[in-house]
């Protein structure tokens, strides 16, 4: 009878140990699953940051191009104004020379 009780107790301890082992495996599996989900979330977060960075870089590049275009337009306007003024000066000199030659 004692041997049976001892055997039953050993069997119960084995079952308890097996249940504990399975519970520990389940906790490890859940922890690994949680780490995996966290890694996926981190990758998604990094991808979103990368997209935001690319959008910002594109916006800045477009802004630089607009500034360059504005600068080029101002430069062309300045050159046109300088050319117009130079033509006016030449015309004035020509008129003055005509007046001078007419008076001599």
For 80, the token pair is: 């046109």
Question: Over the chain, what is the mean pLDDT?
Answer: 96
- What is the band of 104 on the pLDDT scale with cuts at 50, 70, 90? low
SS3 1: coil
Q: pTM for the complete prediction?
A: 0.55
Q: What is the DSSP letter of 104?
A: -
pLDDT at 1: 86
CA distances from 23 to 18, 29, 102 (A): 8, 10, 117
pLDDT at 50: 98
How many Å apart are CA 102 and CA 36, to the nearest integer? 98
pLDDT digits (tens, 9 = 90+) for 25-66: 999 999 999 999 999 999 999 999 999 999 999 999 999 999
* pLDDT for 73 beyond 70: yes
How many Å apart are CA 3 and CA 1, to the nearest integer? 5
């Amino acid at each position: 009878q004692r041997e049976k009780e001892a055997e039953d107790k050993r069997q119960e301890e084995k079952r308890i140990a097996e249940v504990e082992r399975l519970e520990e495996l389940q906790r490890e599996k859940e922890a690994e699953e949680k780490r995996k989900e966290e890694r996926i979330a981190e990758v998604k977060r990094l991808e979103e940051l990368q997209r935001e960075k690319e959008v910002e870089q594109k916006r800045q590049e477009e802004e630089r191009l607009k500034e360059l275009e504005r600068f080029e337009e101002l430069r062309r306007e300045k050159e046109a104004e300088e050319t117009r003024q130079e033509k006016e000066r030449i015309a004035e000199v020509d008129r003055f020379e005509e007046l001078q030659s007419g008076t001599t």
